Amino acid sequence: MRIAVTGANGTIGRQLCADLAKDHSVVRIDLSDSDRDADVRDLAALQAAFEGCEALVHLAGVVSLEASWEDVYSTNIGGTYNAFEAARRAGIGRVIFASSNHAVGMHEIENLPQIYEPEFGLVVGTESPFRPDSLYGVWKAFGEALGRYYSEAHAMQVACVRIGSITEHDDPRHASVAQSSGWLDLTEEQKFKRYASTWMSQRDFARLVRAILASDVAFGVVYGVGDNATRFWDLEPGRALYGFWPEDGVR
């Protein structure tokens, strides 16, 4: 399969492209040091980059819960529209949109810090209403709604993956976790507990992408989180829709 990946130089994109390239033709799309330099704000450039591709994994965007409205509007929301529309025009039939847990992030915020404890018991499903915790989360909710529209109006197969915490070091216990989650009022100890709940390995994310690409599902929303003992997002839709269950997790 010939697969386009936007945001190919990002934390997730680099590892995903390397994995997919083992047995697929991967078109890496980013602003620099990639197969195709294309700005997601440029619809024509994306369409040209997508020509000949059968699937798209859209990872690109300003990844910050403190992103300004200008960035969220032009790069994230506008760029996501451009990605879907360019895919449609280029004849791509499958799109995977990198959504986020922040589309329903208010569940976490209103239950801090007890939500990270094993006895808390909250499990947020994919059918729960959107509860964005930021403009970043609003973008992800928009992308999911847009994906459903393109699936139903244009017969594209669309999967939205609500990613938890996928890191460069690929280790929920790495020292860098102490500097993470700056938008939350957490101690260092609580930050490590958070990652023990929200982490997903790079390997499992690639496995999930592969499971989606091998499926025949018109539209789906799943959580990208490991098999963590204290996870508070529902993994069952991944199994029901795509036959996927993570192999890694914090137990």
DSSP track, 119-152:
T----B-TTSPP--SSHHHHHHHHHHHHHHHHHH
Top CATH class of 2-242 equals alpha beta
Give, for all 251 residues of the chain, the pLDDT tens digit. Answer: 999 999 999 999 999 999 999 999 999 999 766 667 788 999 999 999 999 999 999 999 999 999 999 999 999 999 999 999 999 999 999 999 999 999 999 999 999 999 999 999 999 999 999 999 999 999 999 999 999 999 999 999 999 999 999 999 999 999 999 999 999 999 999 999 999 999 999 999 999 999 999 999 999 999 999 999 999 999 999 999 999 999 999 99
Q: Is the pTM of this model over 0.75?
A: yes
Catalytic residues: 136
Q: In whole angstroms, what is the distance from residue 9 CA to residue 18 CA?
A: 11
